[in-house]
Amino acid sequence: MISGGGRCNVTNKIWEPDELVKNYPRGGNELLQPFHSFNSKDTQNWFESEGIRLKTELDGRVFPTTNDSRSIANALIHKADKLDVTVKLGHRATGFSQKANQWDIETSNGNLVTDILVITTGGSPAIWKSLASLGMAIVPPVPSLFTFHCKHELLSDLPGISFPNATAKVGGKPIQQSGPILITHEGLSGPAILKLSAWGARELHELNYNFPITINWLGLKDKQLVAAIKLEQETNPKKHVINKPVLDIPKRFWQRACELSGITVNRNYAEIGKKQIHKLIDLMLKFNIQVTGKSTNKDEFVTSGGVELSEINFTDFSVKRFSNVYLAGEVLNIDAVTGGFNFQAAWTGGYMIGSSIKV
């Protein structure tokens, strides 16, 4: 219900398996074949066949046209009702044990016996512990999809300003992402930062969320910014630099960058020299800042870690060591960047299991 800021970003418009897998820092290789059986196009067809109208936003995210997660939740509940699925509320699973060919599920409300055990408990530490006691390897969980805390006079009092084509790179690591970056009260957010947090989830955890990053706010090369400034110097030499940003740079950000570059209020374009231009380039294209912590991204977050993927047979998501146990969703060491891809992994696993078990 709280997914996608209450709107449920149910999947993404990217459906070609080769492209879809590029959005999974963990699990991409393993999901390639399953995505040939059930991908985001199938998800959309499935919900639409259940009467849920969907829409695709400009950035590729797919939502119900109602902008309300209840539409998606209700479709699943109605389908389960129609298929006579029994839902036992108040039965928290606390352990699993094998009895001959069956499984005994210990719950907070008595034991249940089953021929086939499908576990889709998401990021539950207690369940990972139970699965570890059955011999399964578990990759220790760490958070993914978070925003960065950082402070600098270039950013202070400028929350809400965003740059559509920025690039961010973690200092000393091959972790780099491009896309929109948003200045927030606490530091930085936006798709490029969230992608960085997903691809770097494990390494950034090891660094205790304390690391340097370099930001190119405009995604440009030095010579492109220099050329834009030179053009202003030629065409508008008498204009005050502070009042006339180049390249549609947000005015308040440009003014702050000018101040920090020593370009005073009355300085016009004809009066700025190499030193100030270099300082502007450093702030706009090679801005170094220390990240000192993180915050949860409220619209979507996920756990990196879970059951080691080598434990799973991805033709049907069964567990290799127990043929009648299946796992799907976040319980596995699969996670994606933001955009509906995390749900897609869960839908695909669910479909593969549902269509392969015989009851």
Ligand X SMILES: Cc1cc2nc3c(=O)[nH]c(=O)nc-3n(C[C@H](O)[C@H](O)[C@H](O)COP(=O)(O)OP(=O)(O)OC[C@H]3O[C@@H](n4cnc5c(N)ncnc54)[C@H](O)[C@@H]3O)c2cc1C
User: Does 121 contact ligand X by CB under 6 A?
Assistant: yes
Q: CA 202, CA 79: separation in Å to the nearest integer?
A: 38
Residue choice 291, 330, 333, 347 for contact with ligand X (CB under 6 A):
330
User: Does 144 contact ligand X by CB under 6 A?
Assistant: no
Phi, psi for residue 84 in degrees, rounded to 5: 60, 35
Residue choice 30, 232, 300, 311 for contact with ligand X (CB under 6 A):
300
Angle between helix 274-285 and helix 251-260 axes, rounded to 10 deg: 130
Task: Give least dist CB 245 to ligand X, A.
Answer: 35
CB 314 within 8 A of CB 30: yes
Residue type at position 219 = G
Task: Give least dist CB 119 to ligand X, A.
Answer: 9
Residue choice 329, 337, 348, 352 for contact with ligand X (CB under 6 A):
329
Question: Which residues 82-111 are close enough to bind ligand X by CB under 6 A?
Answer: 92-93
Please count the residues of the chain: 359
CB 169 within 8 A of CB 287: no
166 closest CA partner among 150, 151, 182: 182
Question: Which residues 177-236 are close enough to bind ligand X by CB under 6 A?
Answer: none
| 353 sits in which H/E element | helix 341-356
Long-range contacts for 53-57 (Cβ within 8 Å, ≥24 apart)? Answer: 54/10, 56/13
User: Does 122 contact ligand X by CB under 6 A?
Assistant: yes
Which one, 148 or 301, has the nearer CB to ligand X? Answer: 301
User: Does 2 contact ligand X by CB under 6 A?
Assistant: yes
Q: CA 147, CA 25: separation in Å to the nearest integer?
A: 17
Among the listed ranges 17-25, 119-127, 243-251, 266-274, the one in contact with ligand X (CB under 6 A) is 119-127
Among the listed ranges 184-192, 193-201, 232-240, 329-337, the one in contact with ligand X (CB under 6 A) is 329-337
User: Does 337 contact ligand X by CB under 6 A?
Assistant: no
Give CA 138 to chain center in angstroms: 21
Sheet strand arrangement including 93-99: 93-99, 102-107, 110-114
Among the listed ranges 14-22, 72-80, 161-169, 340-348, the one in contact with ligand X (CB under 6 A) is 340-348
Residues that bind ligand X (CB under 6 A): 2-4, 8-9, 92-93, 120-122, 124, 126-127, 299-302, 329-331, 340-343, 346
